Amino acid sequence: LSRSISKLTDLHVLGLGDNRLSGTIPAEWAELSSLITLGLDNNALEGSLNMLEFLLKIKRVYLNSNGFNHNITEASWSLMEELQELDLSSNQLVGEIPETLLAMPNLQVLSLGNNKISGHLPPQYLSSSPLRYLTLSSNNIGGSIHTSIGKLVNLVHLDLSSNIISGGFPSQMSSLVNLEYLFLSHNERFNAGGIPQFLEKLTNLRDLSLSLTNRVGQIPGNVLGQLSKLVLLDLGINDLDSEIPSELATLTTLKYLILNRNYDLEGTVPEEVQLLPALDILMVDRTSLSGNMSSICNRQHKAVILGSNCQISEPKMDCECCNICCSRDDNTTCHDSTFFGKLNPIWENSFQRKSYEFDAEIFDYDDSNTKKNGTVNLLGGSAWGENKTLGIGGFDSVDIP
């Protein structure tokens, strides 16, 4: 990265994402006093982030998918009062989550997933926070979810998956009525408990993942049946028992139903659930379910992935169209991870980024979500940078394709 860029003191937008840039961010860039958007995502950059604290007008920072190994607590985040969107995901960042980050008055997007951040979840959340998108997934974060999380009433996306979080699910989460994406999966230190009753209040949910969270007991049809917008329901790798409730058949937008590895789940897959019109993935392998799956096999809309206990073992399901056949107790007969690995990780990070086509009218750029001249492309993407953008733009919730 060239130090001479620092001479462009009137520069508002710098987008160098999706290149092969290496090295560190020059300290001289702290002189870019007019910079509003900085996009250096999907490169091979490393080193410190301290120069960011001198960019007092910065609103959007995208440094995801690099090799930054900075201690995240060392930057003076509180100086960046205008900051609205910060994506530092998929780096090598260490340290604990700075409380000053979550107290920033204008921050709407905070993406810190896939780093080496440790410590505990923040002990307090502010009711005045405008935060809409928060992902801390795939770190080494422990502690419990504080009851004050219910104050983050603007949240649309919350991802705390793949950490070492313990404790329970506070009932105050029922206040998060704008949530569309909730991922708490792969936190096996959560206290054992049922599917939370408060979920029935979160009627805007599209994606819900509670796999490997120590859930026990019955699947509450009266609760989940209220979530009429659900596209993904992932309750796999738990200790759920009893039968699949018929109320799930009311979820007509459901595409992904994952119930596998709940060994005491019994009975049959209700015919009305098999006939859900949008269902693309149904995983019920390594359970005690049995019976016939002919309804899903014969329907016009064919499932992409269908897994059940159709190996020669008991209990056994009759499923001629299943492309994953497992034995209930033998993990060597079923490798569903190889199937999931081919899927777009749409339920991990659902957001939109705006990429701008720069042209001769660049200096007519309007700092709102539009341009006065030129066009704006809305590209659905994920935090792994699968969408090809210029590394600048804004986050918003996105419809799953």
**Nearest CA among 193, 199, 148 for reference residue 166:** 193
Residue 326 has what pLDDT?
78
pLDDT in tens, the chain (401 residues): 899 999 999 999 999 999 999 999 999 999 999 999 999 999 999 999 999 999 999 999 999 999 999 899 888 888 899 999 999 999 999 999 998 888 899 999 999 999 999 999 988 887 888 999 999 999 999 999 999 999 999 999 999 999 999 999 999 999 999 999 999 999 999 999 999 999 999 999 999 999 999 999 999 999 999 999 999 999 999 999 999 999 999 999 999 999 999 999 999 999 999 999 999 989 998 899 999 999 999 998 888 778 888 776 677 788 888 888 877 776 655 655 544 544 444 434 444 444 433 343 333 334 443 333 222 222 222 232 333 233 333 333 333 22
Residue 103 has what pLDDT?
87
113 Cβ contact partners less than 8 Å away, ≥ 6 residues apart: 89, 90, 135, 136, 137, 138, 139, 159, 349, 383
Token output for 392: 């600048």
Q: What does the alpha-carbon distance between residue 397 and residue 134 come to, in Å, rounded to a whole number? A: 12
Q: What does the alpha-carbon distance between residue 87 and residue 109 come to, in Å, rounded to a whole number? A: 7
Residue 396 has what pLDDT?
37
Residue whose pair of structure tokens reads 């992409």 in the numeric block: 304
Residue 399 has what pLDDT?
31
Residue 118 has what pLDDT?
96
- 163 HSE (CA, 13 A, CB side): 29
